[in-house]
Chain A
Amino acid sequence: NAGVTQTPKFQVLKTGQSMTLQCAQDMNHNSMYWYRQDPGMGLRLIYYSASEGTTDKGEVPNGYNVSRLNKREFSLRLESAAPSQTSVYFCASSEYFRGYTEAFFGQGTRLTVV
């Protein structure tokens, strides 16, 4: 049971470079999320997708784009990385069954922008 799989686990980028963080879930969930976590802070929502074909901005969407490629996959793209985007990124998925269920998280991607 893989659950939520994120790749890569670690990444170092130079300022201005671009990259895509990949996320896939095998639980047939409709909803998927991207969060960032900075030291001493909780998780802040970047983007979420309530269902395949829909995406919506969260609290901190600037500098990011997302693609809900299909029901399984939800990718996060940094077009021009900045040092302020150094963070740990988490992908999560959940389902709606008589109300939303718990979210399942990937192990995170540690991104450093130098």
Chain B
Amino acid sequence: SQQGEEDPQALSIQEGENATMNCSYKTSINNLQWYRQNSGRGLVHLILIRSNEREKHSGRLRVTLDTSKKSSSLLITASRAADTASYFCASVRAGGTSYGKLTFGQGTILTVHP
């Protein structure tokens, strides 16, 4: 099964609104990453948060990590139509034989209406 589970599966908002996506994972992690994918193209890395960090910002992106709940959230503020894409969380496992393995959630499809 997928290491990461995301919700909602789809999110539809108006330009200017904030978008929040959540991700849960199952095992201990080295870090958790968020990616964006436009229309079946390659994934583009957005932001990485390490297991000893609780919050990180990058431009209009804010990521939080709660290792006690094994969950993360991605907030996009002041959304734009160009933010329309699929967003995936991916976790890097810590330790054991799976060290370094990058495992993805099923993604959230975000639609931002002009």
Query: Which positions in A face B, CB cutoff 8 Å?
Result: 4, 31, 33, 35, 37, 40-45, 48, 50, 56, 58-59, 88, 90, 92, 94, 96, 99-108
B72 at the interface (CB under 8 A from A): no
Q: How far is the CB of A63 from chain B (nearest CB, A)?
A: 19
* Closest partner residue, chain B, to A94 (CB atom): B102
Chain B interface residue bracket vs A: 20 to 34
Partner of A90 from B6, B42, B101 at Cβ < 8 Å: B42
Given known A-B contacts A31-B100, A33-B102, A99-B50, A88 and B33 have beta carbons under 8 A apart: no
With the chains together, A42 CA to B106 CA distance in Å? 4
Query: Tally of A-B residue pairs with Cβ under 8 A?
Result: 74
Task: Point out the residues of chain B lying under 8 angstroms from A56, CB to CB.
Answer: 97-98, 101
* Closest partner residue, chain A, to B101 (CB atom): A48
A to B CB contacts below 8 Å, 8 in the list: A42-B2, A42-B105, A42-B107, A44-B2, A45-B104, A48-B101, A59-B103, A103-B33
Partner of A88 from B40, B102, B103 at Cβ < 8 Å: B40
Grouping DSSP codes into helix (H, G, I), strand (E, B) and loop, the A interface class, with mixed when no group exceeds half, is strand
Q: Which of A42, A48, A50, A88 has the most CB of B within 10 A?
A: A42
B31 at the interface (CB under 8 A from A): yes
Grouping DSSP codes into helix (H, G, I), strand (E, B) and loop, the B interface class, with mixed when no group exceeds half, is strand
* Closest partner residue, chain A, to B47 (CB atom): A102
Query: Which positions in B face A, CB cutoff 8 Å?
Result: 2, 4, 6, 30-31, 33, 35, 40-45, 48, 50, 88, 90, 92, 97-107
A43 touches B43 (CB 8 A): yes
